[in-house]
Amino acid sequence: MATPLVVWGRRSAFNVQKVLWLVGELGLEHRRIDVGGPFGGLDDPEFLARNPNGRIPVIEDGGTVVWESHSILRYLAARHAPGRFWPEDPAARSRADRWTDWALSSLQPAFVDLFRGYYRTPDDQRDWAAIRGALERTARLYGLLDRHLADRPYLAGDEFTIADIPAGASLFRYFALDLDRPALPNVEAWHRRLAERPA
Ligand SMILES: N[C@@H](CCC(=O)N[C@@H](CS)C(=O)NCC(=O)O)C(=O)O
């Protein structure tokens, strides 16, 4: 009997949420083990043997261990639904890959600075110049997404792909920020489309 998928990582971690979203889209039976944050365990030799980088998420699927959230998205999509969420045609795949990579290299660093600087820092310790800088960078990047989504329903085109997960998973936190932000009508419409998906 095949061993079910195992996911290591606390549910509250942004990078783990990306993986759990795709696991839901794929309808995969899985077991999740709490690691990281208050649960600790990232320095345990057993955990480091699976991920020498000591970060969550990590998955093990039929004997294959994968770490790095976006590598996990690509692996799960390719393994469990070839061509469905990660297109096989190289041009179509590149349209999904560029937004998946952009989220990790551009959006996430700006967003994490904002999120940590504002939400995770007590009021009297906040560095407002740094927060405003991160807000401006983040808003500029969401503005770029808004223009891109003006004439397509999903980031890679007509269909939902793994590209929608990393940037899409950040929206709940971004829209909950009680800070002044420019309006993003196309991103908000995309957020509603994503939120309609059961996963
Ligand atoms: N680039 C990595 C980043 C992994 C990462 O930094 N994960 C965070 C959680 S979002 C972590 O392990 N934090 C330590 C902790 O939760 O204790 C990925 O995308 O998987």
**CA gap 91, 82 in Å, rounded:** 16
Q: 169 CB under 6 A from ligand 1?
A: no
- 104 alpha carbon – ligand 1 mean position (Å): 12
Domain closes at, from 37, 56, 80: 80
Q: Which of 15, 43, 69, 116 to mutate to test the pocket of ligand 1 (most atoms within 8 A of CB)?
A: 15
Does residue 161 sit within a domain? yes
* Distance of CA 127 from the midpoint of ligand 1 (Å): 23
* 85 in a structural domain: no
62 shares a domain with 151: no
**pLDDT tens for each residue of 103-132:** 999 999 999 999 999 988 999 999 999 999
Judge whether 114 and 177 are in contact, CB under 8 Å. yes
Is 131 within 8 Å of 118 (Cβ atoms)? yes
Q: What pTM did the predictor assign?
A: 0.96
Q: Is residue 145 part of a domain?
A: yes
Query: Within the chain, where are the H helices?
Result: 14-26, 45-50, 69-80, 90-102, 108-118, 128-148, 164-169, 171-176, 185-195
Print the domain residue range for 113: 90-195
pLDDT tens profile 160-183: 999 999 999 999 999 998 888 899
